[in-house]
Structure 1
Amino acid sequence: MDERYGLVVPRSLDEACEPRRTALLVYDMQVGILDQINEPDRVVRRVVEVVQAARAAGIRTIFLRHVTLPPELMGVSQLRMWRGWQRVERAAEVISPFPPDAAQTQLIPELRPTGREAVIDKITMSAFEGTWLDLVLRDCGITTVAVIGVALEIGIEPTVRHAADLGYVPVVVTDACGGGNMDAAERSLAALRFAGDALLTTAEEFCSVLAPD
């Protein structure tokens, strides 16, 4: 363990992922989003594996959901974004694709949160922007956030970068993350690897670190 001025600076995954100070963020594992990514079955298997290991280790786990507002409440940025994603010509043609109660907005059945876990709804790409996530993590003494889910190139990269800017140690469990555009997803991983703020690992390695000796 590396130390300076009374601070412990982790070098390895094992040092960073002390269970009492680690949280798991499960990003947008929703019915309508899994329909849009590559190899959804593989991603689901890995995500479920990591969630089960986190639960066994007593790690605090928070699920994220992307929701959309009625068009009447979408501002300029939301209308621009959805106009592009829905490939329509005019903002007047935009529809709300993920209303909170819609079937496609729900988490997949394999990932039903327990009574000890929480779900955060968001309209942003970073899970920290406009939500209570940072407040809760700091209040619980969390210093490391592990991120799994979808999609790497849309929401996971900005969430990981935001986590680093807020002073957390981000961990990306790469094979428990999926993408809709695999070239873009690989570029996101390459950018995170180059920046050096995040620890990149695999589901097998992450679960082994959490397993009791």
Structure 2
Amino acid sequence: MKTIGNKQIYENMEEILDPAHTMLVNWDIQNGLVKNIFNKDEFVSNVKKLTATSREHGVAVLYTKITPLPFKYMAPSNIYSYMKRFGVDDPSKLPVFMAPGSEDAEIYRELAPEKDDYVLNKHTASVFTGTNVENMLKGAGITTLVFTGIATEIGVESSVRDAINHGYYTVVASDSCSSHSKEMHEISLKSMSAVTTVMDTGSIINIIKKK
């Protein structure tokens, strides 16, 4: 680590992924999304291993959940996006996406949070927008965020870029992220590699275990 003035700058992945200041963000691992991804078995296995290792070595674990606002409070632009996604020409025809209490909205059972994990209900495709996450991170002394989840090209990438803009070190676990589209997943990973560290799950686990 280099110290320049009042700044401490990490110099390698062992410092960046030190469990003392790292949080694992398991993004939207909900039934309604997991069932549609292109690599379900690999994804579930990798997230399970990374989450277990994180807990064992003292890495904080955060889960996010899509929790849509009631229709009357949704932005018109979001309604338009949902109409495109579901192929309808009238808002009244929209299905209730990730309805609270529905099976689709629940976190995938095999990857369910444990008592010391934190579950964040949020309304946007960023872990920062409209949430108290930044206060939580500062309170816990977190400087590094490791991302897994669905979908790579939507909430994961959006949150990674926001985290960078908020001054956090970020790492993307490439094979612990997924999408309904393998092509979009791979494009997103390539794009993010220009601004963050993209690593396979096994490499991240090996570094965390060194502590």
TM-score range, shorter chain: over 0.9
In structure 2, distance between residues paired with 1:28 and 1:118 = 13
Q: Is the 8 A contact 1:69 1:99 kept in 2?
A: no
Number of the residue aligned with 1:199 = 197
Number of the residue aligned with 1:149 = 149
Residue-by-residue CA offset, 1:134-180 (whole Å, 9 max, x unaligned): 11011111000000111101110000000000000011011111122
Q: Are 1:187 and 2:187 matched, yes or no?
A: yes
Q: Is the 8 A contact 1:27 1:150 kept in 2?
A: yes
Task: Give structure 2 stretches of 5+ with no counterpart.
Answer: none
In structure 1, distance between residues paired with 2:9 and 2:28 = 30
Q: Is the 8 A contact 1:70 1:96 kept in 2?
A: no
Give runs of ≥4 in structure 1 deviating > 4 Å: none
Question: What's the CA shift for 1:212?
Answer: 4.0
Letter in 1 for 2:158: P
Number of the residue aligned with 2:37 = 37
Letter in 2 for 1:25: V
Number of the residue aligned with 1:88 = 88
User: Size of the alignment, in residue pairs?
Assistant: 211
In structure 2, distance between residues paired with 1:114 and 1:36 = 24
1:156 counterpart SS class: helix
Letter in 2 for 1:148: T
Letter in 1 for 2:199: T
1:8-47 mapped onto 2 (5 Å cutoff)? 8-47=8-47
Residue-by-residue CA offset, 1:77-124 (whole Å, 9 max, x unaligned): 221111111110122222221112111100011122121111111121
Letter in 1 for 2:203: E
In structure 1, distance between residues paired with 2:2 and 2:210 = 23
In structure 2, distance between residues paired with 1:23 and 1:203 = 15
**182-191 or 23-32: bigger deviation:** 182-191
1:119 counterpart SS class: strand
Letter in 1 for 2:201: A
Letter in 1 for 2:2: D
In structure 1, distance between residues paired with 2:12 and 2:43 = 25
- TM-score (normalised: structure 2): 0.95
Q: Is the 8 A contact 1:125 1:154 kept in 2?
A: yes
**77-86 or 143-152: bigger deviation:** 77-86
Question: What's the CA shift for 1:17?
Answer: 1.1
| Root mean square deviation of aligned Cα | 1.4
In structure 2, distance between residues paired with 1:2 and 1:90 = 57
Residue-by-residue CA offset, 1:13-58 (whole Å, 9 max, x unaligned): 2110111111110001111101121111110100000000000011
In structure 2, distance between residues paired with 1:46 and 1:27 = 14
Number of the residue aligned with 1:133 = 133
1:104 counterpart SS class: coil
1:159-174 mapped onto 2 (5 Å cutoff)? 159-174=159-174
Question: What's the CA shift for 1:75?
Answer: 2.6
